Structure 1
Amino acid sequence: MADHRDMNVTVADAQQAWDLRFSAPAAVHAWLRSVPHADATSVQVLAVEAFLEWRRGQIRQALSMVRQAEEALSGDGQTVWHGRLLNLHAVLLYISGDIARCVTLLQEQLSLGQRLQDAELQALALNDLGAIMAWNSASSAYDYYRQAADLVTDGSPAMTAIRGLITANMAGVHHHQGEFALAAPLVDLAEALILDAHAMMLWPWCVNLQIAQATHAGRYGQARQLLNAALARLDERSEFMGEALHMLWLTAARLELQLGDPGQAMIWLGRLQDEDALRGDARLHLLDLTASIHAGLGDHAQAYRSMRTLLETLLKQYQHERVTLVSRLELHRVTEAAQLQAQEARQVTSALMVRLDEVQSIKGHYERLSVTDALTGLSNRRQFDRDLPFLADDDGLLMIDIDHFKRINDTFGHQTGDEVLRDVAVAIRGALRPGDRAYRYGGEEFAVILKGAGHTQLSTVAERLRLAVALGRHDPAGAVTVSVGGVLVDAVTGADAVRHADTALYAAKQAGRNRTRLTPAEPGSAVREAGRSAGDRNGE
C-alpha cells in the first residue's frame, strides 16, 4: 500500500487495507500512519482505523471514529463502506451494552448487503445477529450462523477468516449445549481456516474452544499446555488482539481455579484492567469468575459482593432487553413468513428459560458456599457425601486424622487448634495432584478423593501429604503429624470405601501414628477391619 495524494487512489488503498485487516494488521496500521492529513478523516480511512482500534481494545476511541465517519457520509450513504460502518457501530454498541440499538443497525446492514448483493456484509450481519441470539436460543443462533456460512464462498483471506470465525461460533453453540463430539470437527475446521488466512487476531477463539474440550474431558495438563503455547505464540502480536486476548486471560483464570490455585487465577484477572473492552456477556463471566475465585480464597464477603453485582447487572440487562431484543430479531428473521409468529413465541419462551438458568446459576454459587468449610476453605462433609457415590475403579480414597489433636486444644486453646486445622488443610491441598479433591470430613479429620490414582499414585500422594504436614512448623503447637489410611476403589460402594479407609487409618494409629497404611478393598486383607476407639474419634 503506497502513499498516494489522489483521493481515488486512497480509496483503492483503503479497500486493500480493509481486505488485509485480519491477516496483516501491523501493515495496515503502518499505512494509516502514512495517509496524508487531508485524507485522514475520510470515511474509508476512519472505518479501517476504527476496526484496528476495536481490535486493540480501544472501544471508546473506535466508537468516536465510527460516528465521525458516519457524519462524513455523502448522499444517501447506500455504499459498501456505509455497511461496514453499520457493522462496526453495531458491534461496538453491543460491547457497550446497547443491544437494542445494535440489533437495529445489524438489520439495516443485512438489508443493505442484500440490496448491494455484498456477501461479506450479509454474512457479518447474520453472524453477529447469531452471537446476540445465542443468549436466548442456541438453535436460532445456529440457524443464523449456517445462513452466514452459506454466503461465504469467496476464497480471499478476509472471507476465509470470516468463515473461520463463523465456524468457531457454530462450534461454540455445540459447546454450550454440551455436544463436544459435534463441536470437535468444527473447532478443527475453524482453526485451519483462520490459520490459512493468517488471521491471528481470531485464533484465540479456537484456543478457548480447544481448552474447553480438554477440561471437559478432565485433561487439565493438556489444557494448560494449549493455553501456554497460545499465549507464547501471540505475545508479539498482542497489540491488535484486544478482545480475543482478554478472553484468553479469562480462560487462564478459570483454568487455574479449576486446578485449585485461586491465587494464580486472581493474578490473571488482574490483567483485565479495562472491563470496557469486554462484551456484555464476557463481563458477566468476569463477575461470575471473580466471585468463584474469592470464594476459593476464603474471602466469602467479597464473593458475596461480586455475586450481588452480577445479579444487579443481570436484572438491569433483562429490564433493558426483555421488550425489544427477541421481538426485533424474530420480526426480521430471513425465514418463511408463515413461520415468523410461531418462532417469535418460541424465542420469548426460550429467553425466559435462559434468564431462569442464570438465576439458577447464581443460586448455584450460594450452594457452593454451603458445601465449603468456612475454617479451612476445603470442601465440607456435605460435598464429600455428594461426591462419594461417583467413585470408580482405580480411584483412591484417603482418610486423614491429626494426631493428638485433643491435646493441642487442651494445651494451647481452640484458637491455636483452628490455626493447626488451617495449616494442615494448606499442606494437604499443596500435596495433591490437579483434579484431586480434599475435604474437611469433620473435627480434625480430613478426606481426599484421588481420581484415577492407581495403587502407585495412591501410595505416593498419601505419603507426600503426610510428610508435608510433618515437616511444617505450627506455632505455638510445634510439630504436628497426621495418620493416613487409604484404599484403592475396586468395584465397591462409596460407603465400603470409607469403611476400608477407616480401617487402614485405625491401623496407622495403632502402629504409632504419623504413618500411612493402605488396604485393598477386599475382605480378608492384611489390614483387618476394626472399630475405631473413642480416643481416635476425639483426636487422640
Structure 2
Amino acid sequence: MTSDPPHFTPAPASPPGQKPSSSTSALERAWQLRDTQPQTARQVVQDVLGAQEQRAELAELIQAQIVLGYLDYRLGDSENAVELMIVALSECRRLPADVWLARALNNLACVYSYLNQTDLSIQLFDEQLRLAQQLGDQEQILIARHDLGVIYLEMSPQRAKVHFLAALDICLGLSPVNTLFAAALYSDLMMVSFKQNNDANAQKYLELMLQYSHKLDFSSHYVNIHGDIVEFYTRRGNYMAAERELASLKKAIAANQTVDSQSYNYEEELACISGPLYLKLGKTHEAIALLESALENAGGSLHIIYELLSRAYELTENLHSALKYQRLLTERVREHHKEESENQFKMFEVIHRTQIFAESAQQQRIANEKLQRLNDQIYQMGITDALTGLANRHHLLRQSQLMVQKTTDQCPLAIALIDIDHFKRINDRYGHAQGDQVIAHVAQQIRAVCWPDDLVARYGGEEFVVMRLGATESELAQTCEALRTALRTTPSELPSVTVSAGVAQTTTGELDATMHLADQRLYAVKQAGRDQVFTSRHVQTETSPS
C-alpha cells in the first residue's frame, strides 16, 4: 500500500460536524486539520501569516513553520520541509517549553527516521517523550510512544510492542477515546504479532481494531487502516470477510473522493489493496483491469503495481506481459533507489546547510546579547551614581524634563530635597570612607521608603532628590517622615544620622522654580534646627509656583 511520510502520527480528529472552540487559535486549528484537511490547514496558516492587521509574534511564526514543515513533507517537498523543521526546532528551543516544541521534535525525528538516521531519530523521540512527561501532555506521550514503537518494529518487535502497549494504555484512558489512535495502535500490534508469527494475537488485535475502525472519520489514515484489515483477512484465507471489508472501503472512498485528494491517490491505494485479494480469488482479469487503470496516475506504489501485474499476467500465461512488468519493476526499483538516494543526499545537504546557518545565527545572537548587555552596563554606569546606586544628577535632570511635561492640575509633580544633617562633622570625625558608608546607608533607606515609580537621585555630596509624579507635596512629605523614622535605627558600625527635607509641588511644570522652592524650605529646616520636613504649611512667606 502507499504510505504517508514515515510514521507521522495521525492528528486527533474532531467529532463529525464539530467546529473548533472559539478559544482554539488559528494555528492550533491548522495543526489539528493537517491530516484530515491539509489544504484547509495550509490556507489557515497562510491567512495568519498574511494578515495585515497585526504583526505575528515570534511564537506564531515558529508554529506556522512547524505546520508548514509537516504539510510540505506530506506533499513530497522534503527539502523545504526539512529546512522549515530545523529552523523551527532551533527557534522553538529558545522559547518556554510547550506542546509546539514536542511537535517540532516529532517532525524532525520522523525525517531522520526516513534518512535511516535511527540513533538521531530515537534521540529526538526520547526528548519528545521526556518533554511530554514534564508537561503532563498525555497526547504527546502517546505520540512519542507510538513513533518509538514504529522505529523499533523492524529492529526489535518485542520492544516495539512495549511502546505500542504503553501508548494504547494512554489512548484508552483518554475521555473520549481517540478512535483513530486506538485503531492505528491495534493495527500496529497486529503487525507485531505477524512478525512474531503469533496468529492468535493477530486475530485478537484485529477484532479489537474493528471496534474502532468503522467509527473513524474518512482520511488517508482511514484508508490505510481498512487496507490493513483487508490484508489480514487475505493472508488468513478469509476471502469473504476480505471482500466485505473491501466493498465497504470502496463505498467510503466513492463518498469522499475530494478529501485529501491532492496529496493522496485513492485509486492507486485501492489497486494495491484489491490486487492481492483478486489474485487469491482467481479474479485475475479484474485484477489486471484495475491495476492497469491505476498505472496512469500511480506514484509511490508504482513498484507494487508492476509486481502485481507481473504475477497476474503470469497466472494468465501471458509470459510476454509478465516479463515486461517484471522488467519495469526492476527498472522502477533501480530508479526508486536512485531517486531516494538523491533525495536523501539533498536532504542531508539542506540539514547541513541549515544547521550551519542556525549555528551561525545562534553565535551572532549570543554576540549581540553580550554586546547588548555591555551597552546596558555602560548606559547604567552613565546614569547611576557609583556610590549609592541611585540615579546621578545628569539622569535626574533629563528625566525630570520628561516628568514636568506630564504635570497638570490633576497630576501634580512633588519634589523633595533631602540633606544629611551635620555631614561635615561626620567626615571630619570619622573620615571620608566612613562618610561614604553613611551616604550609601541613607541612600538605601531613601530607596526603601520611596514608591517604585519615584525618581530618586543623588544630587551632589550628601544631598538627594526625590520626584513623584501624580502626588502632592504632603504625600511626599509623609515619605520623608518615614525616612526620618527609619534612620533612627542605624547599624552599629555607623554613626547615627538625621536628615532634613524641603518639599514643594508644581501643577504647571515650572521645574526650576519648584526646585528652588524646595531648596528654600530645606534651608528653612536648617535654620529651624534640622531633622524636620518642611512643606508650604511650615513656611508662609514664599510664592509657590503651583
Structure ID, larger Rg: 2
TM-score by length of 1: 0.47
TM-score by length of 2: 0.47
